[in-house]
Structure 1
């Protein structure tokens, strides 16, 4: 074989090898680029999930905590009797309105969550189902007729209505009315106040007749379960502030 032919064959082989290597390198580069894009998209989805969780989960957590705290104080510290029958007009008004507010605020955040539930990804389907189950249990405690005492019974449609009325649409994100705006709406909006009349009357009767309501006890227990689920490692609410009222079965009919 002539030297020229040998050189040509070697050059052809080198060229072929270079093409093969370049092709493999291009494929590897494509694979690496696709993997980087996938990881980047996954990080973006995770960040969005955490942002949505913070936007909706945390307010739900705090509203549940505030409501259970008020119920706990009503049962163990006679909150409504102490302040609802106070000699100070400001204290009497606060006892009634703040109690009404924490109930309505919780229902407001539940309504927001209900509308946004497909966005509230807690990380896996089991957690998502658990959240829905806890909210349903609390709703059932509020609406059921299984208790002999009908006070603090809020039917499911009424829960939705109160929740809708509590939603504030200022800015770009849904939120709940603050306490000041809530009190103002009670005074100037007769339609708004009408939906709260039942609970307002229940608060009044509980001030006058401070007997224990099993519905309140069971509701507080359900709310504590929700708080424990939303903040399992006590990163926001200390364990020492999660006292549980003794729970028992519903009143026998």
Structure 2
């Protein structure tokens, strides 16, 4: 097999360094794994999602972060049948929590896992345009991730709460995330920022020009989509929210 290109290796090392997974060794060009990097190397996940999982375990937010890690690693459970995009979008808006795709995913999974029977789960999926098989896969992946955390010593298998929530039990102690659970939401958002950094964007409205009192208008593309300016080491580029995001629907 051909070795990876040097530029690809450098890019990968840069990502790992940004995440705190590697650190340079003195007096040479090599790097070594940090404690975080050691644990990330054993997880079958993208490194950023793996960091989210570990941060959640350290800060007592295991249930939510294992659900998120599983959900982000699987195909989205939100579906839009042909010709029913508008209905599917409206259903997602109904489920939406805090204009956040991540909190909305947690809300959907919590509703599904709290159902008392398969028939109730399937009815819920039909109502909110969710994939029952997709949520089952998220559930199975979540169980595998909890096994990894237990093996690494981050969680205790004796915890019935973790077992129940991983298996989607009706007795799961995981609360449904709603706008009223502000402290939970803020912690999860903070964990996401910590895990995904520096792939984090902050929207700042430009200073108003002139004497008008109206809010500054965002830049729009020819199709009418709101465009955002993204600044990084490479310069400034333009980006748009994916139309399926609850942020784009807000």
Work out which of the two has the higher radius of gyration on C-alpha atoms and give 1 or 2.
Answer: 1
Taking structure 1 as the reference length, the TM-score comes to: 0.29
Taking structure 2 as the reference length, the TM-score comes to: 0.30
Query: Higher relative contact order by CA 8 Å / sep ≥ 6: 1 or 2?
Result: 1
Q: In proportion to residue count, which structure has more helix?
A: 1
Q: In proportion to residue count, which structure has more strand?
A: 2
